[in-house]
Structure 1
């Protein structure tokens, strides 16, 4: 009887464990003040980020175990991902979105006015999570 209970409990505990890589992470609404706008994004937790100011702009970098996200507003900054060749794009009057695959990993670039949002180094199974982050972006003018 004890062996049956243990054989049932162990898979249950493992599947409920916070160490389970397939567990859905919760989201936290993050407000980011860039130079001219406030950007609100629903980000997975835990969040580890870095903020870098330079003369012409600001960069926020968010690092997760399955990918990297960063936001940029400013001038005179070129990132490696800007040289990636997109497999497809959507251009509207207000924004541009480019995406593709580089080194077997997915990436996306979203540009709205002077704001650039990127994710990259994302596996196929995590792509939807990062696309949902892009869909959650809300931009409001600060001035």
Structure 2
């Protein structure tokens, strides 16, 4: 289970970096997505500045998902049964990030896909079931 715990920490760390980048560079990201505008835009704001709040919101959601992964991984020593389900669900939420990373840097998207799939598969293996179902006396 140590490998699943490390895997979840790595995925959560990558998500945390992405979330911080989205929050701190929200105007630049929004400008890259929605553009600078043209002569018909109002004098004081550009479409990138108008949509920066949406990018910050997305960054905060990504940070919340990363916090979920870290919290679940840190609670593994308790061997609570619901943590196995939480790890499985976290793997499924990490999977769409591979598509997002693939849009930016294709190699990073493929590199992210492998740990995300492993995070889905590892909680369903028999040793994972046995480890989480263990009841200490």
Q: Same fold (TM over 0.5)?
A: no
Q: TM-score range by the shorter chain?
A: under 0.3
More strand by share: 1
Q: Which has the higher contact order (CA 8 A, sep 6+)?
A: 2
TM-score (structure 1 length as normaliser): 0.24
Could you say which structure has the higher helix fraction? 2
